[in-house]
Amino acid sequence: MEPTAIMAGFRPEYLDFEHGIRVGNLEEHERITRILKLALEARYAQPFVTERWGRGVFWQWIGFLARANRTAKPLSSDVSFGCSKFYLTVDRETRVFQCGLQIERGMVKAPRDSRAFQLREDWDWNRLIKALKPRGEMERELTRLLGDGFLLHGGAWDAEAVNFSRVDFPGASKLRRTLEAAPEDNWVGFQVFFPMSESEVRGSTGLDLVESMLAVFDEVVPLMNLCMQTRLEPAGVQERMRLVEPPR
């Protein structure tokens, strides 16, 4: 089978530590949204949905979720809140580029005018919480990733969240208690990401960065599969996809 050639004209300066991720005023082959969506669909042989937070030329957060996982949800197939996502963002405060996995918990008790944001039984968050068991597969995967330089961020978006690295990860039980203790009227998130400093981004080529993002996504797939209703199986990647730079 001929590999799928994906033109990747992304450049390091499109990760802007002052404004966010540049997606506007670019050619199609330069946009990270298009590049990663095509690459993920080739890699996992299924459609992905692109989500974002932001507007205009610069977006603050970009996510990619498997469409099949959203479609499989009997209560929440019309929204993306309940789905595990690959994500990327530029934290402009810490000046760190993040790339990894994100799972969200809506409000446990949402106001009447915000019912769409209320946690429902079919959200991936519930599977995440159930999987956080001592000596379980989730704990083993988190330990592995944190040992490889990933970081873990969890808690309410509107309050002080908890961050863990390899040296201070307390184990699955305490992490579960921390997440469950988040205020019921807050939006809560769980992120496992690989951090890159501004100098590391600037010292890379655009193609290197895209390949690094896809490698990070590959690393968090086992965690994602523990939480989704469907699975991602990246078998035969090398035969189906290659990234190429457009001619100058």
Instruction: Note the pLDDT tens digit of each residue in 165-182.
Output: 999 999 999 999 999 999
DSSP string, 18-50: TTEEE-SS--GGG-HHHHHHHHHHHHHTS-EEE
Q: List, in order, residues 6 or more apart from 160 with CB less than 8 Å away.
A: none
Say whether pLDDT at 219 is over 70: yes
Predicted local confidence at residue 26, as pLDDT: 97
Average pLDDT value for residue range 209-215: 97
Average pLDDT value for residue range 192-211: 98
Say whether pLDDT at 1 is over 60: no
Task: Please give the mean pLDDT across all residues of the chain.
Answer: 93
Predicted local confidence at residue 115, as pLDDT: 85
Where does 4-229 sit in CATH, by number?
A: 3.30.930
Predicted local confidence at residue 14, as pLDDT: 98
- Residue with the bigger pLDDT between 1 and 61: it is 61
What tokens were used for 218? 């590959």
**Measured distance CA(17)–CA(197) in Å, rounded:** 10
Inter-residue contact 155 to 132 (CB < 8 Å): no
Average pLDDT value for residue range 17-44: 96
Average pLDDT value for residue range 40-49: 95
Say whether pLDDT at 235 is over 70: no
Ramachandran angles phi, psi of 60, nearest 5°: -90, -25
- Condensed to tens digits (0 to 9), the pLDDT of residues 69-101 reads 999 999 999 999 999 999 999 999 999 999 999
- Condensed to tens digits (0 to 9), the pLDDT of residues 123-169 reads 999 999 999 999 999 999 999 999 999 999 998 887 666 789 999 99
Give the rounded percent of residues in the chain with a pLDDT score beyond 70: 96
Which range, of 108-117, 205-214, 234-243, averages the lowest pLDDT?
Answer: 234-243
Looking at the chain, list the stretches that DSSP marks H as alpha helix, in order from N- to C-terminal side.
Answer: 32-44, 67-71, 124-131, 137-147, 172-180, 198-202, 206-227, 237-240
**Measured distance CA(173)–CA(132) in Å, rounded:** 6
Which helix (H) or strand (E) covers residue 156, if one does?
strand 151-156
Inter-residue contact 60 to 73 (CB < 8 Å): no
Average pLDDT value for residue range 98-113: 94
Split at pLDDT 50, 70, 90, the class of 2 is low
In this structure, how many other beta carbons lie within 10 angstroms of the beta carbon of residue 5?
11
Predicted local confidence at residue 161, as pLDDT: 66
